[in-house]
Structure 1
Amino acid sequence: MAERGRPRKGAARLSREAIRAAALTVTEDEGVAAVGMRSVARRLGVDAKSLYHHVEGKDGLLDAVAEHVLAGIGLPEPVGVLEDDLRAFAWAFRRAALAHPQAATLVLTRQLPSAVALAPVEAVLSVLRKAGAAPEEAVHLLRSLLAMVIGSLLREAGAGPAFGVTDAEAIARREEELTGAGLAETAPFLARCDHEAEFAFAVDFATEAVAARLRR
């Protein structure tokens, strides 16, 4: 029996970073719904109450998972060409979000105030400001770019409509359904969805629009 006041085995190594990693493991193994103070504490071999010194309940755990994924973005070094820099940021964000499919929706839907979460925001705003955007305009452009990136990735993660599918047999069935619905001309294209190609198109469209606006 442990002495009164002595921390349980594993408590000495408890930290926000360790909690992040454990919460991510629970997310990947059991899904977002399984993340909780008890499930994460079991992974760490500590009492659930000890987690409250580092995170504020389940919401804090979910934020920690999102932070853990965002910390892996690996922000690219700007090269001074607006379109190239914005594309690089968008693709880096996609790689980080999809590296942990079970956690992707957390990264894309939670608003985090931490320095880890704000680092990509600061980097994009810096690029926009150097390209000539005024402070308010830079924020509007940032939000528009985020809407495009997050919307595309939510669709890829299965949380948004794509109208098309990826499996060959399903594509044929979907094309037939769309043709029957009066969309014969576009059915061959609407029936299939290549997420990477769609993301590339959206990123090019958005970055070129931003560059054109700032050149006016």
Structure 2
Amino acid sequence: MTDRTPAARRGRPPKGAGQLTRAGIIEATLKVIGSDCVGAVGVRAVARQLGVDPKSLYNHVDGKDGLLDAVAEHLLGSLELPSRTGDLRVDLRAIADAFRRRALRHPAAAALVLTRQLGSAEGLAPVQAVLEVLRSAGCSPEEAVHLLRTVLATLVGTLLREVNAGPTYGTGDLPGIAARRATLERSGLPAVVEAAPYLARFDSEAEFDYAMELALDAVVARIEAVTRDG
């Protein structure tokens, strides 16, 4: 995120400028993302959603990057971070679960936490929480950053799969499962045919649990290896 503050503009304020708030702009940006995609975000698109002159947004955000940073900060800053228990696995999983609950309110915007370089205390609060857990477990600052990125990539990647799950990942309704399984079994590919009953079914909760537990297994094993080897 840039640290620049948009310069105050002189003269008559643009249409709707006096009614705008940063919270309102963030909400409008989330609506654009939800109805179209992150790529559709822009000053004009958000202004159209708000029914105001695009120039009025520059009193609150610094263009498209400012809009995306604001949404990412909103997602991260509004997380209800759990209290630490002192147990590495429990604490990391609790943070992941809190992020999932928050992200699923605006699933199309979840990837922004991986693509924005945030610098505010609000945006960095979850990073601080994860780093504290990892450092308390004996990680060096460098190792903690590697593990942070690994956990975050697993978390967001799993959420994006959950939100965008299509026939490739299977489905949850019985007719859909049956149709997908039949398609897979007709593929003629031995490994695919063998796995067809499982490939045809997609349970987002179970997949999230599996992915996070696998990632946490790797984190715990890595920390144990590093601390054992000094």
TM-score (norm 2): 0.79
**Paired-residue identity, %:** 57
The answer for the alignment partner of 1:181 in structure 2 is 189
Aligned to 2:87: 81
1:200 aligns with 2:206: no
| Letter matched to residue 119 of structure 2 | S
Q: Deviations over 1:48-88 (max 9, x none)?
A: 11212332222322332232222322111111111000001
Shift of 1:159: 7.3
- Give the alignment of 1:83-162 within 5 angstroms: 83-107=89-113, 109-115=114-120, 116-158=122-164
| 8 Å Cα contact 1:124/1:142 also seen in 2 | yes
Residue-by-residue CA offset, 1:80-138 (whole Å, 9 max, x unaligned): 1110000011111111111113433444x422313233211111011000011111111
CA shift, 1:200, in A, is 0.4
User: What one-letter code is carried by the residue in structure 1 that aligns with 2:197?
Assistant: P
Work out whether residues 72 and 116 of structure 2, in 8 Å CA contact, stay in contact via their aligned partners in 1.
no
Could you tell which deviates more after superposition, 88-97 or 57-66?
Answer: 57-66
* Separation (CA, whole Å) in 2 of partners of 1:186 and 1:87: 29
Cα contact 2:110–2:156 (8 A) shared by 1: no
Name the residue aligned to 2:3. Answer: none
Q: In 1, Cα distance between the equivalents of 2:74 and 2:165?
A: 21
Amino acid at match of 2:123: A
How far apart, in 2, do the equivalents of 1:154 and 1:141 lie?
A: 20
Contact 1:8–1:47, Cα closer than 8 Å, also in 2: yes
Q: Which residue number in structure 1 is paired with residue 29 of structure 2?
A: 23
Cα gap change, 1:159 to 1:57, in 2 (>3 Å): farther
CA distance in 2, matches of 1:213, 1:33: 37
Aligned residue type for 1:21 = E
- Counterpart of 2:223? 214
1:185 match: secondary structure: helix
State how far apart, in whole Å, the 2-side matches of 1:139 and 1:160 are: 33
Q: Structure 2: which 5+ runs fail to align?
A: 1-9
Instruction: Report the CA distance between 1:161 and its aligned residue.
Output: 8.8
Change beyond 3 A, Cα 1:158–1:33:
same
AA aligned to 1:71 is G
Q: 1:166 to 1:125 in 2, by over 3 A?
A: same
Look up the equivalent residue of 2:117 and give its one-letter code.
L
Cα contact 2:15–2:56 (8 A) shared by 1 = no
- Deviation (angstroms), 1:33: 5.0
Query: Which structure 2 residues correspond to residues 23-102 of structure 1 after superposition, within 5 A?
Result: 23-29=29-35, 31-102=37-108
* Residues 137 and 178 of structure 1: CA distance in aligned 2, closer, same or farther (over 3 Å): same
